[in-house]
Chains A and B, each alone.
Chain A
Amino acid sequence: MSLLEARKLEKQFGGLKAISGLSFSVPENIIFSVIGPNGAGKTTLFNMLTSIYKPTSGSIFYKGNNITGMPPHKVAGLGITRTFQNLQVFLNMTALENVKVGCHLHSKSGLISAALRLPSVMKEEHRVRKMAMEVLEFCGLGDIADMPASALPYGILKKLEIARALAAQPDLLLMDEPAAGLNDTETMELCDLIVQICQSGITIILVEHNMRLVMEISHHVLVLNYGKLLAQGSPYEIQHNSKVISAYLGGE
């Protein structure tokens, strides 16, 4: 059964159709990559899947439920989370605190009980701290836990954003250009991390420009061009698809 299904998605900004007539489905537990030239509508698609944008028409089904137009935090509550192309790390916190926010859905104390620091809050804090530390260590960030995020280099922040998303224990993780701006070593590490995340049972939708990375780790690739589906299939099929090649390299 597919985890996520998009039916005839359409998003229009004024006169511009950023996405039109896009249908696809994402099976469980795979790395599903979305590629396409700049401006193809990849980020718009992400913003619709996470309910930041409401589609102009069409619908999105997640685990069989229609989630179109649901508020973003509710979508997150169902187990979908994401990372961002332009980093959205909380720079006003430490690395650990960032990941602790990721645990928001798995804790429940409110403002008043926190103000009074009831025993239940203390217990929860302890649990959240442990949970957050585990995730940080999984991502290889254990030793920078108490550093302010604003003092961390770009490569680490990219990882931190992934760690924060993992703390939310999603079933579906959308990653928007995780390798952008990383050097080769960092990209290799990222590659391993993504594969590990997938192996732990999380389905990944990946938008990425680094073709080597995409072709190496994806199980399924979807190619967008001018907001339309150009092709989809295994990395091998995509690499040998003449339509894809001409869209990327310019053809006759």
Chain B
Amino acid sequence: MKRLAGYYCFAIATLMLPLLFPDSYYVTVVGVTVCTNIVLAVSLNLLMGYAGQISLGHAAFFGLGAYSSAVLTIKYGMNPWLAMTAGVIAVTVLSYVLSRPILRLKGHYLAMATLGLGIIVHIFFVQADQFTGGPDGISGLPVLSILGYPIDSDLKWYWTFAIFMLASVLFSLNIAHSRSGRALAAVHGSEIAAQMLGVDTARVKSYVFVFSAVLACITGSLFAHQQDFVSPESFSFFFSIELVTMVVLGGLGSTFGAVIGAILLSLLPEVLLVFEDFEVMIFGAILMVIMIFLPQGLFVAMEQTFFRLLRRKNQRAADVTS
């Protein structure tokens, strides 16, 4: 299983952390944020990195998941799992209906359309205050339980998020080496050539858009239960940009690139607590520096350098023996 060697190391590290540091704030609290961002970045990478379709509105689907759970459980007393399912169904339908017209657009136009989507959804969260509680948000979600075991401590939440995150990363890695993954990459490489080989590019783009939206939606539901509170601020345009930054920072098209990008940008605010007000500026600066100096992304650049060194070393060994 050479293909997944990196994944297993990562999975073991993720699962070991709470065993080694069960009481650490960084594991139980920051860890959950990191896992949330990893799933979001990985799902966005399916769309942006694999299929080459930019989205500046990914936070919208994350928010829709969170709000469906919050509103349906609090205002309508629905069972949390049922609420989550309702959210998933709503997002599936919405994203599918939107995907056809939106994904016909390319480049800047697509960026603008998804930006608009993100902003509209955000405004809806703020304005529809009889449902969403307006700018103040809503709190008091019921405890989520899995097969009768309530998830009622920070550590249990870590486990929940870690497992969900690891599953998402595995999905993403699996898709890369499959017919669908190649069809996505083909759309990225040359849409016209993909069509000539029988790839229904509109459908492929639409499916990955829905898949990525649904992953974000489920993450949102879990996030709402874990935070026990939702407010529009968590799902703003800035968060969408942050997610794009994570994907680009790590390296477009690489699942682990998205993972690394998400980890770095989630930890950054912890390190830069003093600069809180400048956070967005710092993200902007990172995005610019990466685009100028490392357009292929941090992780991918590291990977390439590593393989180049390895090849050179092998070459030298071969030269010595011959």
Q: Please give the residue numbers on chain A whose beta carbons come within 8 Å of chain B beta carbons, in ascending order.
A: 50, 52, 71-73, 76-77, 81-82, 84, 88-93, 97, 100-102, 104-105, 107-112, 114-117, 121, 124-125, 128, 164-165, 167-168
B211 beta carbon closer than 8 Å to chain A: yes
CA distance A120 to B253 in the complex (A): 25
- With A114-B179, A115-B171 known as contacts, the answer to whether A102 contacts B197 (CB < 8 A) is yes
Q: Is the CB of B196 within 8 A of A109?
A: no
Q: Is the CB of B174 within 8 A of A91?
A: no
CA distance A121 to B182 in the complex (A): 13
CA distance A199 to B57 in the complex (A): 52
For B181, the chain A residues whose CB sits under 8 A away are 114
Q: Is the CB of A125 within 8 A of B196?
A: no
CA distance A102 to B196 in the complex (A): 9
Closest-CB distance, A57 to chain B (whole angstroms): 23
Q: Please give the residue numbers on chain B whose beta carbons come within 8 Å of chain A beta carbons, in ascending order.
A: 171-172, 174-175, 177-183, 185-186, 188-190, 192-201, 207-208, 211, 253
For A124, the chain B residues whose CB sits under 8 A away are 179
CA distance A168 to B188 in the complex (A): 19
Taking each of B182, B183, B198, B211, which has the highest tally of chain A beta carbons within 10 Å of its own beta carbon? B198
For B201, the chain A residues whose CB sits under 8 A away are 73
- With A81-B197, A93-B185, A115-B171 known as contacts, the answer to whether A108 contacts B179 (CB < 8 A) is yes
Residue pairs across A and B with Cβ atoms less than 8 A apart, 26 shown, are: A52-B195, A73-B198, A73-B199, A73-B201, A77-B198, A81-B196, A81-B197, A84-B193, A90-B185, A90-B193, A101-B185, A101-B194, A102-B197, A104-B199, A105-B197, A109-B178, A109-B179, A110-B179, A110-B180, A111-B207, A111-B208, A114-B180, A115-B211, A117-B174, A121-B179, A168-B197
For A102, the chain B residues whose CB sits under 8 A away are 197
CA distance A167 to B188 in the complex (A): 20
Q: Is the CB of B185 within 8 A of A164?
A: no
Tell me the nearest residue of chain B to A103, going by C-beta. Answer: B179
CA distance A73 to B186 in the complex (A): 13
CA distance A89 to B196 in the complex (A): 12
Tell me the nearest residue of chain A to B49, going by C-beta. Answer: A92
Query: Beyond A88-B190, A93-B182, A101-B186: 10 further Cβ-contacts under 8 Å?
Result: A52-B195, A71-B200, A93-B185, A104-B182, A109-B179, A112-B211, A114-B179, A114-B181, A125-B178, A168-B197
Q: Is the CB of A104 within 8 A of B179?
A: yes
CA distance A76 to B177 in the complex (A): 23
For B211, the chain A residues whose CB sits under 8 A away are 111-112, 115
- With A76-B198, A101-B199, A117-B174 known as contacts, the answer to whether A90 contacts B179 (CB < 8 A) is no
- With A101-B186, A110-B180, A125-B177 known as contacts, the answer to whether A164 contacts B197 (CB < 8 A) is yes
4 closest A-B pairs (Cβ-Cβ)? A90-B189, A114-B178, A88-B193, A115-B171
Q: Is the CB of B185 within 8 A of A100?
A: no
CA distance A53 to B174 in the complex (A): 36
For A107, the chain B residues whose CB sits under 8 A away are 179
